[in-house]
Structure 1
Amino acid sequence: MQWLKFRRTRSGENLRTNTQQDKINIGFVTLVSVVAAIGGLLFGYDTAVISGAIGFMQLLFHLSNFMTGWAVSCLTVGAVVGAALAGVLSDRFGRKRMLIVAGILFSVGSIGSALAGDITTFVIARIIGGVGIGVSSTLVPLYIAEIAPAKLRGRLVSLNQLAVVIGISAIYFVNRAVANAGGQAWDVTTGWRWMFGLGIVPGIIFIVLLFTVPESPRWLQKQGQGERALSVLERINGRAQGKIEYEEIQRSTENETGSIWTLFRPGYRIALLVGIVLGILQQVTGINAIMYYAPEIFKHTGAGTNAQLTQTIIVGAVNLVFTLVSLWLIDKLGRKALLLIGTAVMTISLFVVGYEFHSGHSSSALILTFILIFVAAFAISMGPVVWLVMAEIFPTRIRGRATAIASVALWAADYLVSQTFPVLLSGAGPAKTFGAFGVMSIIAFLFTLFVVPETKGRSLEEIEQSWGRRSSR
């Protein structure tokens, strides 16, 4: 029997090959990943639902630009809290239990937002839902990364981003259907409440289905539940390869201290830097400014209400299609290549949009075209790849806490963008605002080129060992 081989690729990476690959239970691991990825759907739904509701809420609650930004961005305050707690709590209580808690918090937030009688109550409900989103956005990619075989990890973890995009696309249709169900007065008093309240449906589905999936085998091993961990690994990988994975995890966890200070060793410091900086750059390149405020952006091009919502639906459709493309490419081209291609195209698109606004061509079809190109480029690169890399690069014993640190940075950047975007749009104007996003995209390209490592085809333990070798130099 052949057990495990290593072969040297042209790029110098060590990739595992073995005769047991045909025994990977692709159906089972895919099903588990899909269930977990519903947490991503909640993420997409809850972050994008505000785009269709905020205009009506402005009229009902007489919101200023600052309060409009706060109504949108308060979700991210909860998400920062949820992401900060997710690491410690999931390391203690398990990935699965905390995902169930996330589903409950999301559902409570959806109903509370729908029933809110004033802006203060709405904000409190949104923060509660945001805590759930922060937990799920941190733990879903981490959980899938910990159960997925190395050769499938990229596309399986990217199912989370696909689910996020499906949630965003679905809510655009929901928002339009609800807005068209009554007149303007009904939309202002009641319609936007249905937009939020319907989120209870995917929330309940997520909670129920989570009871059917196993706990992360790496978390089980870390907790001393080796037999359960081995059972899960064998069900996913087959008996022989499952045992190999188990022994590799054992060796890895035996050599770890489990202290968060591990991240400040010379090699691991780079991993921490990559996670935090990529998380921030994902947001400050402007994607959620477009997703949250798409109708408001298109309003600046002179589009009417129905045209705004239709164009927003087109944005969601492009996002969905190119996220599917990323699932096909991510384990073929690799993480770094997709990031470089994506950020290069994003940079060009943002500068073209900024120039068109600057030149007074606000009604130009080029604005919609290059916004769509930007969204497509983001969907194949920064969207799925950042979450994947954050879930891959940290040591097993502290993966939950380390991923949480990077996720907090991401959500804090999201808050900054969503809070300041309305003010920037009305103050500095769309030309300078999109120009600033373009500069951030250049920085993302350069950071990827010089700092971000390639992790394609390597087990989590191999990635961890590569950081360890750097720290021992």
Structure 2
Amino acid sequence: MPSYLREASRNPFVLKISLLAALGGLLFGYDTGVISGALLYIKKDLHAGDLAQSWIVAGLLVGAVVGALAGGRLADLISRRWTLLISGIVYVAAALAAAFAQSSGQLVAARMVLGLAVGAASAVVPLYIAEHTPPKIRGGTVSYNQLMVTVGILVAYLIDFALRNVGSNWRWMLGIGALPGVFLVIGMLFVPYSPRWLMQKGRRDEAREVLRRTRRGEDVEEELSEIESVLAEERSSGLRALLRPSLRPMLVIGIGLAVIQQVVGVNTVVYFSPTILTYTGLHANDAIAQALSVGITNVVFTIIAVLLLDLVGRRALLIAGTIGLTVALLTLAAFFAFDWKDSAPWVALVALVLFIASFAIGLGPGFWLMISEIFPLGVRGSAMAVCSVFNWGANFFVSYYFLQLVDGIGKAWTFSLYAVMGVVGIVFFLTKVPETKNRTLEEIERDLGAPASGTNTREQTA
């Protein structure tokens, strides 16, 4: 039995908490996957041109930027748990509004509201899971969020495929998206508050009870004292605290991971994989069918990442995965540059599968996991929110301009540009990103330069 599964099986309560919280990943996963297929029919039904299509995709991302920032703040104010529950309710209402939209404008507005929920959940789910999970299994367990994202994408691809010949199919595709929100709301009714949030609020006895259930056989009092010590060192919290010089190296790592995860073009592949496959000469229905292989690969390799993150480490998988996706992007660029559509049409699909497999093993779970580990407790919610904002902002920029780039500089140069970003990412990971496996969140804080109380005081009075 792999070491992660052996350790995880000893703590079923943590697994239950993590899986229920990770339902928040379904919000983004389903909506991301479903729009890729629905877009092929929306553009005909609502007469949406390239600009309208770009906004239909990117509307969610605009909302997600605001949602991520608000989610981090709400997580500190009302708890991680209640923030996720509210996100689920908002998502249900917005998904139904999108299904009944009568114009491109209405659909864009509904997807912006969807984005509020998706952005908030994306910032809070990894934080919530990390704060419940022992160090030995934290890498795999926090990555349940990314696993749920990939499951949501695959389910959406399957629904797109099943409904491809049904009348008003895109409305059904979008309407079924309300279900992940329902699942999240129900799930949050059965999970406890984060022990670190409880300690922030002075509710030590409640925090002790939660830790006793998530740290079987371990010294709960020692961990409570460690959390309390870190809280005492953090004299300020929130966005202003992130400007302290001592936190800048951590913020550079977090924002760098956030931006690189998107500028390699992952969501152009996820949002537009059927569209990309139509560039190879496939009919829309056939393109949706072939896109299923991308969704299946995403899930399989995310499961592999869950098993490897606590064994191999985060940094090694980040580097290996980014090398793989850069090779895939160069292959796609060559496919379009040399017009292999007739002589080797299968190359494009192989490149897409290699790309998504490499992303799923490295940058996919690696970003969300590491930003839940590297920041001090007093600013963790705000810091993750800022990183999520940069992530969603880069997602918007790349997704919105994909079709315009293809029209402006061509398919080959577009994928070549993404490959260059992959090279930048490899250099960044080699030079800036530390390894964080098998270490408590408090140990990581101190090793990355989290200030002692005396330093903290000097910085605030400067």
- TM-score range with shorter-chain normalisation? over 0.9
Q: Distance in 2 between matches of 1:337 and 1:320?
A: 20
C-alpha distance in 1, partners of 2:33/2:258?
A: 19
Structure 2 alignment gaps of length 5 or more: 1-5, 456-462
Find the partner of 2:225 among 247, 253, 264.
Answer: 247
| Distance in 2, Cα, partners of 1:148 & 1:204 | 25
> Are positions 1:257 and 2:235 aligned together?
yes
Q: Which AA in structure 1 matches 2:46?
A: F
Is structure 2 residue 423 aligned with structure 1 residue 442?
Answer: yes
Q: What aligned pairs does 1:376-387 form with structure 2 within 5 A after superposition?
A: 376-387=357-368
How many Å separate the matches in 1 of 2:450 and 2:207? 27
- 2 CA distance for matches of 1:106 and 1:443? 35
Cα separation, 2, equivalents of 1:63 and 1:209 = 37
- State the TM-score, normalizing by the size of structure 2: 0.94
- For residue 219 of structure 2, give the secondary structure of its aligned residue in structure 1: helix
Cα contact 1:79–1:130 (8 A) shared by 2: yes
TM-score (norm 1): 0.91
Q: Are positions 1:430 and 2:411 aligned together? A: yes
447-456 or 298-307: which moved more? Answer: 298-307
1:401-440 pair list within 5 angstroms: 401-440=382-421
Q: Does the CA-based 8 Å contact 1:24-1:237 persist in structure 2?
A: no
- Letter of the aligned partner of 2:160 in structure 1? N
The equivalent of 1:208 in structure 2 is: 186
Structure 2 SS opposite 1:371:
helix
1:147 aligns with 2:132: yes
- Of residues 282, 287, 307, the one that matches 1:308 is 287
Alpha-carbon distance between aligned partners in 1 of 2:240 and 2:26, rounded to the nearest angstrom: 34
Q: Partners in 2 of 1:23 and 1:330 — Cα distance?
A: 13
**What amino acid maps onto 2:207 in structure 1?**
A
**Aligned partner of residue 41 in structure 1, secondary structure:** helix
Contact 1:236 1:242 in 2 (8 A): no
Is residue 177 of structure 2 the alignment partner of residue 199 of structure 1? yes
**2:145 equivalent to 1:160:** yes
- 1:53 alignment partner in structure 2: 38
SS at match of 2:448: helix
Question: Which position in structure 2 is the counterpart of 1:175?
Answer: 160
Question: What is the one-letter code of the residue matched to 2:243?
Answer: F
Deviations 1:46-81 (A, max 9, x none): 122111111111112222211110111100001001
Aligned counterpart in structure 2 of residue 271 of structure 1, from 241, 244, 250: 250
How many residue pairs match? The answer is 446
CA RMSD of aligned residues (A): 1.7
What is the CA-CA distance between 1:305 and the residue it aligns to?
2.1
Correspondence 1:455 to 2:407:
no
Q: Identity percentage over the alignment?
A: 40
Per-residue CA deviation, residues 257-305 of structure 1 (Å, 9 max, x unaligned), is: 1334443334421110111111011011011001001111001101122
> Does the 8 Å contact 1:353/1:431 carry over to 2?
yes
1:118 match: 103
Q: Closer, same or farther in 2 for the Cα pair 1:252/1:309, shift >3 Å?
A: same
1:105, 1:128 within 8 Å by CA — same for their partners in 2?
yes
Shift of 1:337: 0.4
Partner of 1:375: 356
- Please tell me whether the aligned partners of residues 25 and 237 of structure 1 are also in contact (alpha carbons under 8 angstroms): no
How far apart are residue 23 of structure 1 and its match?
11
Determine if contact 1:103/1:206 at 8 Å carries over to the other structure: yes
Tell me what 2:460 maps to.
none
Distance in structure 2 (CA, Å) of the matches to 1:428 and 1:53? 26
* 1:30 is aligned to 2:30: no
Unaligned runs of 5+ in 1: 1-20
One-letter code of the match for 1:237? Answer: R
Distance 1:267 1:258 in 2: 13
2:389 is matched by which residue type in structure 1? V
Structure 2 match to 1:80: 65
Cα 1:437/1:470, change in 2 over 3 Å: farther
Q: Distance in 2 between matches of 1:242 and 1:125?
A: 45
